[in-house]
Structure 1
Amino acid sequence: MAAQAHPSDRESLNSSKAASLDAPTMVSGTDDKAVDGVPPSTPSAASNAPCGPGGPQAPAVSSPVELPLSRRVLLVAITMFVIVLGAGGQQGLNIALPSMQKDLGIAQNDLQWIASAYGLASGCLVPLSGRIADVFGRKLCFMIGIGWYAVFNLVGSFLDNRIAVIVTRALAGMGASMGAPSAFGLIAANIHGKNRATAFAIFSAGAPLGAGTGMVLGGVFTAYTEPGWRAVLWFFAGLGFLAAVLAFFFVPKDQPNPNADKRIDIPGAFLVTAGLVLFQFSISYGSSAPKGWKTPYIAALFPVSVLLLAAFVFWEYHVQHHTNRPPLIRLALFTRAKGRLAAMYLVGFIAMAGFVSIGFNATLFYQQVQGASAMTAALQFLPCIVSGLIATLSLSKLIHIIPGQAIICTGFLCTGISATFFAVSKRDTLYWTFPFNAAWLMVIGVDFLMATGAVFVSRLAAQGEQSVAGALFQTLMQLGGALGLALTSVIATTEREKALGKGFEYIDALAKGISASFWLCAALNFTACIIALFILRGMGIVGGHGKGGKPGGPGGPGGAGTPGPGKAPTAESASEKTEKQENARKEQV
């Protein structure tokens, strides 16, 4: 479909995008070839190819040097802090939920708000934060986000009011929303070729590492220290301050682009943020509101949120095609690689809806149904840590030789089986049978999804939209997690009340409700697997490297390596023309 002409340069570019590829090539698994007809996300590759048949060549200048190994290791380690802090803080407080419930007087139905408040804020603000990071500097936004997270963890640790604690969890989530897309963009902008795929795989190891650290510390602090759950917040606040300081000294500076359009789509930011806030609030609070989903303000806010999100889509289309302003999120992201990028977003949303609730309900199962102490429950989660680290570190090699679709589907199957094992576990089930196997299988799905998805997204995103593209992926996973928590909470409450009405003991009734939640988690993961089998076909090997280049690979800025036979050396131009050419080619599929 041809884009409408416009006097501005921006609309002239949109017109050039109309002459897109008619027959995109399939994934080759190498960085010197396109992913579904989309060239690699690099100015180097972009500048070496014409805009179209017979189109002008970009000016050839020398490529920047790839970061040395020591700098790459430091960059991945420091940015990984944002994943460690998010997963660790959440899991540490999950282990301490019964203790927090007693100390703060939180009702059973409201316990989910300790987790949901954090996810609500971090998920809703990520799209805007991604755009801010791309425009004003990823390093600066990373440091601000991590520092903000640390401050409100510290503040929350000194509060005794349940509402105030929940508010600080939301404020900490705001910090995470700034740090996460910035970390994604920093890796994509500074590490290239095959090294980038390896970096994202290792970066994703922050999730099991953080979750494991949080579980163990949550159990130790709750069982053996006077502050209990408050010490968890102190620990992760200190870790956050440390990460901000390390980033200041060791993360590479952003390369400024004087020609970049730094305007931010404020109306679009308002529509998407307000829509996401109301959407997540409605689904998170619907189960614990006075009259449940029939509560008047829940019934009103949910359709309003849907209308706001729909208005955001129409507004972004208007901005992109009828103005010369940059949109907050390019709608073309959803059509990249013949729709497979949108498919990745969809399966991530569904799978996270089925994953987040497993850990939440497993904590309640261990402590409230089986009567385990906080420390025992933490130890029972240790298989998650070990298998998660093994999965992510193995993936740093497997992602270069196994198709992404196979990796993702295998992970979803593992998590679905985990939820099934938890669902059939009873009050007196021996840990070393179903619960143990459920624990080590649980995290494989999300670890495989995060790493593979991150590499796939970064390869299909243009250089100036890396943080936004990563932010969109994270937002949809956050939304999925919030929706999953809400749905499982509704099911658990309904089944528990039914069992109590039939005369069951409270613990047995609680077990029935939790079991029903696990069955839903299993169904969601198996559904994500089936969908991925059909709509991610042809995804190919997402972590390959150039045939003629070094592992840095042709196709990464600064990581071009030695060109293969018959290939011209890649080059990079920092001019606005080159960036426009690259963005145009990215939107051709």
Structure 2
Amino acid sequence: MTSSDHRTAALPEPTAPGSAAASHHRPGTALSVIVGCQLMIALDTSVVTIALPEVQRGLGLSTGGLAWIQNAYMLAFGGLLLLGGRAGDVFGRRRTFAAGIALFTAASLLGGLADAGWWLLAARAAQGVAAAVAAPSAMALIAVTFQGAARVRALSVFSAVTGAGAAVGMLAGGVLTEAGSWRWVFFVNVPVGLALLLVAPRVLAETARRPGRFDLGGAAASVLGMTALVYALIRVGEDGWRDRPALAAFGAAAVLLAAFLAIERRARQPVMPLWLLTGRDRAASYLTQFCLTSAMFGAFFFLTQYLQDVRHYGPLRAGAAFVPMVGVQFAVVRLAPRLMARLGARTLVIAGAALVGAGLLWLSRLSAGDGYATGLLVPFLLMGAGGGLSIMPLNATILASVDPEHSGAASGVAQTMLWTGGSLGSAAMVTVYGSAVSGRDVLPGLDAAFTTGAVFAAAALAVAVLVLRVRH
């Protein structure tokens, strides 16, 4: 199947016998439930970032242990998304969606109650597993619930939440940490999760269950391989390229990821059908998504460090600094469907990648004396506009390139690219930062990290220009 098969994507997926079709009568509420889950998941990639200094003081964690509080979530999330997509196919997407929300709510409660580093680390990993279960079904439920122009509008809202969620999390983390305690960045998910669990069965129709097998070997190889790769990059940033554990981890990552590809070629029902990586437009969309999120998630992490360590902002003020980015991203995403109908998906993706790259290049010239208006506001606006222009067209291109019965797997791969891209991009930028920082002067390291982010954005731009061909 190639991107030319877009006509079949408009066909609705069959629902389970006897399931209520309430989503057709209350589409706004159905979309609110789907987007609410996605916002909760997206927020947790960054809402903890602002609170990390308080977490460190509260639990006595080392710097390395603190880094893994974030990585445990993103690695479990990105690594198990493909298995979560298969679970939706086998058990029904509404049922899988609700199970993921329930686990996420419980894990959030445990995280807020943590009194030791290992406890919080386990809770973050459990949150990542839960997000991997719920997220693929969230995107697939849009494909099932909405058709035609309504699907494009729904995807625009979904993409806005996905793209802006990390930045919104910065603001929410600052508010919760300064107003109460770092524990509230976890507790806030509990009432939200319970509300979603209450409403979801009433407004979302169940999809047909399809018999299938779970590729546990492939899932394990992918998670362990990505974990080893991120661990290696972080070790290199701390101890240099001659560090033996880092080199061993690189070797393990190569073996495990090669084993993953071998397992997927032979598996009767692979967790990631390799044909999803074929098809020019679909493959280009996945790669562009990976590169853009590599650039942007790493930038969020280092912008937080700059605001708090160099500019000496408090948690609330640091979070509020991201508001212009969030605002422009939401505004642009709302315009994206009309722009895509007029200009085509490829044009929007190219423009978006170029704007993100320009914002990161601007950030690479930051100095300690730069004010917010002169040093940060313009790149925030450029990155917000760039993310808003590119995310929805990429998701729409991916979903339009597969039959409805493969939408769960396709959306799982899409979100895998998004979240593993964020994890690996952040780790790569940490490596460059560690090599460039000079004593107590962190600015050379920050400049190098933002330059690395610009390179990721340039790679996304190159793929969009040279490979992506979809127009409308």
Q: What residue number does 1:532 align with?
A: 464
Q: How many Å apart are 1:92 and its aligned residue?
A: 2.2
Q: How many Å apart are 1:428 and its aligned residue?
A: 1.7
Match of 1:314 among 262, 265, 285: 262
Q: How many Å apart are 1:368 and its aligned residue?
A: 0.5
Match of 2:183 among 205, 222, 230: 230
Cα distance in 2 for residues equivalent to 1:384 and 1:70:
35
Q: What residue number does 1:455 align with?
A: 396
Cα distance in 2 for residues equivalent to 1:123 and 1:484:
13
Q: What residue number does 1:283 align with?
A: 233
Secondary structure of 1:287's counterpart equals: helix
1:287 to 1:106, Cα distance in 2 relative to 1, 3 A: farther
Do structure 1's residue 36 and structure 2's residue 38 form an aligned pair? no
1:189 to 1:37, Cα distance in 2 relative to 1, 3 A: closer
Secondary structure of 2:8's counterpart equals: coil
Match of 2:430 among 474, 489, 506: 489
Cα distance in 1 for residues equivalent to 2:410 and 2:312:
44
Q: What residue number does 1:442 align with?
A: 383
Do structure 1's residue 378 and structure 2's residue 319 form an aligned pair? yes
Q: Is the 8 A contact 2:77 2:128 kept in 1?
A: yes
Secondary structure of 1:262's counterpart equals: coil
Cα distance in 1 for residues equivalent to 2:23 and 2:45:
34
Taking the TM superposition and a 5 Å limit, the aligned residue runs for 1:178-577 are: 178-207=133-162, 210-211=165-166, 213-225=168-180, 228-256=181-209, 260-288=210-238, 291-319=239-267, 325-336=268-279, 339-496=280-437, 499-500=438-439, 506=440, 509-536=441-468, 538-541=469-472
- Residues 491-524 of structure 1 show CA distances to partners (whole Å, capped at 9, x for unaligned) of 222222xx22xxxxx2xx1222112211111121
- Residues 388-434 of structure 1 show CA distances to partners (whole Å, capped at 9, x for unaligned) of 21122111332322211111111112211222222222112111112
Secondary structure of 1:246's counterpart equals: helix
Q: Is the 8 A contact 1:117 1:169 kept in 2?
A: yes
Letter in structure 2 aligned against 1:407: L
Q: What residue number does 1:50 align with?
A: none
Q: How many Å apart are 1:308 and its aligned residue?
A: 2.7
Q: Is the 8 A contact 1:457 1:469 kept in 2?
A: yes
Structure 1 residues 81-90 or 361-370, which shifts more?
A: 81-90
Q: Is the 8 A contact 2:23 2:145 kept in 1?
A: no
1:331 to 1:208, Cα distance in 2 relative to 1, 3 A: closer
Q: How many Å apart are 1:438 and its aligned residue?
A: 1.7
Secondary structure of 1:41's counterpart equals: helix
1:92 to 1:495, Cα distance in 2 relative to 1, 3 A: same
The unaligned stretches of length 5 or more in structure 1 are 1-19, 25-34, 46-63, 320-324, 501-505, 542-589
Letter in structure 1 aligned against 2:451: W
Cα distance in 2 for residues equivalent to 1:158 and 1:284:
28
**RCO higher in structure (CA 8 A, sep ≥6):** 1
The unaligned stretches of length 5 or more in structure 2 are 14-18
Count of residues paired in the alignment: 467
Letter in structure 2 aligned against 1:40: T
Cα distance in 1 for residues equivalent to 2:142 and 2:235:
36
Cα distance in 1 for residues equivalent to 2:28 and 2:328:
22
Do structure 1's residue 77 and structure 2's residue 77 form an aligned pair? no
Q: How many Å apart are 1:69 and its aligned residue?
A: 6.3
Q: Is the 8 A contact 1:353 1:484 kept in 2?
A: yes
Q: Is the 8 A contact 1:197 1:399 kept in 2?
A: no
Cα distance in 1 for residues equivalent to 2:241 and 2:118:
21
Q: What residue number does 1:13 align with?
A: none
Do structure 1's residue 100 and structure 2's residue 25 form an aligned pair? no
Cα distance in 2 for residues equivalent to 1:364 and 1:409:
29
Q: Percent identity?
A: 25
Q: What residue number does 1:15 align with?
A: none
Cα distance in 2 for residues equivalent to 1:70 and 1:440:
38
Letter in structure 2 aligned against 1:540: R
Cα distance in 2 for residues equivalent to 1:285 and 1:72:
48
- Residues 175-228 of structure 1 show CA distances to partners (whole Å, capped at 9, x for unaligned) of 111111010111112212222122111111223554454333322222232xx2
TM-score (norm 2): 0.91
- Residues 462-498 of structure 1 show CA distances to partners (whole Å, capped at 9, x for unaligned) of 22221111111111222221111111112222222xx
Q: How many Å apart are 1:94 and its aligned residue?
A: 1.7
Q: What residue number does 2:110 align with?
A: 155
Q: Is the 8 A contact 2:230 2:427 kept in 1?
A: no
- Residues 267-301 of structure 1 show CA distances to partners (whole Å, capped at 9, x for unaligned) of 4334334433433443345534xx45544343223
Letter in structure 2 aligned against 1:489: V
Cα distance in 2 for residues equivalent to 1:539 and 1:421:
30
